[in-house]
Amino acid sequence: MWGLRTMAALAAILVLVAGCGSGSSAKKAAPSTLQGYVPRPTLEVGALSLPDSSANDADFPFRAQPGKLLLAYFGYTNCPDICPATLADLRISLKRLGAEAGRVQVAMVTVDPARDTAEILDTYLGHFFKDPHALRTDDPAALQAVADAFGVQYEVQTDAQGTVDVGHTSLVFAIDTKGRVVDAWPTGMDNKIVTDDLRLLLSRQT
pLDDT number for residue 85: 96
C-alpha 10/C-alpha 26 separation (Å) is 23
C-alpha 128/C-alpha 73 separation (Å) is 13
Question: What Rg value do the Cα atoms of the chain yield, rounded?
Answer: 17
Per-residue pLDDT tens digits for 43-74: 999 999 999 999 999 999 999 999 999 999 99
- Segments in 20-172 forming alpha helices (H): 24-28, 82-97, 118-126, 140-150
- Whether residue 133 contacts residue 108, with contact meaning beta carbons closer than 8 Å, is answered with yes
Where do the domains of the chain lie?
2-205
Per-residue pLDDT tens digits for 145-197: 999 999 999 999 998 888 999 999 999 999 999 999 999 999 999 999 999 99
Which pairing describes strands 69-75 and 104-110: parallel, antiparallel, or unpaired?
parallel
> Does pLDDT of 91 surpass 80?
yes
- Whether residue 50 contacts residue 97, with contact meaning beta carbons closer than 8 Å, is answered with no
Q: Under CATH, domain 2-205 is a member of which superfamily?
A: Glutaredoxin (3.40.30.10)
